[in-house]
Amino acid sequence: MNLSMWQQGWYRGAEKCESPNFGQRPQAAQIDLIVVHSISLPPGEFGNGAVQQLFTNQLDWEAHPYFQSIQGLEVSSHFFIERTGKVWQFVSCDQRAWHAGVSSYRGRSNCNDDAIGIELEGTDEQPFTDFQYERLQLVTQLLLVAYPALTPERITGHSDIAPGRKTDPGPCFDWSRYRQALLPAR
């Protein structure tokens, strides 16, 4: 893995789709956490571009009844991995994406300050695809090289930083498979 895959926090292997929903990280921030999420819009529907529209403030709130329940929401993530394995990037990893919301982990609140958010296209009730695990592993390994404070032990789910409020990536996400894939080859 080499650092030539990055340019100012942007992964060259991702489809770049800049979101206006980001900010500067606080001066004392240290990028040392990866948060795995899942999302589909409307829930359970895939491949329709709605997530990309949400993250870029272009979602037509009238296009589906569910969208009215999230109308006006301004959120983003650093990465979004479709079920096909296609990787999108919305915010430079050097910037603060708006993915965690009210959150706390290991004694620190406001996880957006120090975290990189990776959204998987999915739901709590459906398994993720092999393509998604492969791309998630690749992106994670590249992040571990590019941001030395990140370690495999500093990867968690949205449900862990916002318990009671969030459940993603959900029980169908195979943490063991993901963590095993990050281990060095013997």
Report, as residue numbers or ranges, the catalytic residues.
Answer: 119
Number of neighbouring beta carbons within 10 Å of residue 165: 11
> Cα(47)–Cα(152) distance, rounded to whole angstroms?
29
Which among 22, 13, 142, 21 has a CA at the least distance from the CA of 81?
Answer: 13
Asked if residue 74 lies in contact with residue 98, where contact means CB atoms within 8 angstroms, the answer is: yes
